Structure 1
């Protein structure tokens, strides 16, 4: 069974967070997309947690914690630049996805900056890229509802306190790239 990973980012002060909903089995994709689409308000194109009211956040989280989704978080320091921090996280994520046997990696598009991710992924895969079977792409956040999951969990992790507590069932591994 090939896992799918959906990735978004967040930043809190000097900490860069890359969140990857990395434990999404193919049999769950359609059901999760329907659930997320059903949580949108009328005329809302996507769920973006930062823009939701606290009551809506609680409603959305309550629905998500009943799913089999696990989100791994990758942390990096932004003091030497946000892009550098992101690429440290993307490199570590790529290696971990290969270890899991993931088949697809979807990153929330940052438009012109997507090239940085592609270079990091290609470098991480090395000369055996085709043999890994990992397919990767960037999509706008409204392009796949599953990109909303890492947005939600990253926001909650960064907010801490009660939001982190509510999101805890969704959090898998926390990988701190600041530590050797």
Structure 2
């Protein structure tokens, strides 16, 4: 079964998506355990001592650069209409600078692409720290910290 289908199976009746901040701790543990059993890996970009807007630009720029260099076919980003135009410019710039016009990128609503729930869960774990980071480690392939 495809990871998207397995993730959709975790939804409660009436739920359109998994949003980690809205779940109870016991449900978070259950969801994270299921996610860690999937054949998915994430990279975590941590930006310290910067305002959120600047941290987003640094993180997304690094992500786009890494995706282009790795030969990724597509990059899917959770839609935030207030940031979408700036995101598109940043990604297009990375594609131009690192020489791949073949990578496709798009913004989608979280309920449209369940793999976004995995990145949401890992981001939540990293921002809450402690044992949550340990629980997410099984799917974290790499960590990049920028100051």
Same fold (TM over 0.5): yes
Any gaps of 5 or more consecutive residues in structure 1? 1-29
**Structure 1 ranges of 4+ moved more than 2 A:** none
State how far apart, in whole Å, the 2-side matches of 1:47 and 1:161 are. Answer: 22
Q: Within 5 Å, which residues of 2 pair with 1:79-90? A: 79=50, 81-90=51-60
Per the alignment, residue 139 of structure 1 pairs with 108
Q: Secondary structure at the match of 2:16?
A: coil
Normalised by the size of structure 1, how large is the TM-score? 0.76
Tell me how large the CA RMSD over aligned residues is: 1.6
* CA deviation profile, 1:18-59 (whole Å, cap 9, x unmatched): xxxxxxxxxxxx611111100000001110001001111111
1:117 and 2:103 aligned: no
State how far apart, in whole Å, the 1-side matches of 2:44 and 2:101 are. Answer: 23
Q: Within 5 Å, which residues of 2 pair with 1:142-161? A: 142-161=111-130
Give the total of aligned pairs: 147
1:108 and 2:78 aligned: yes
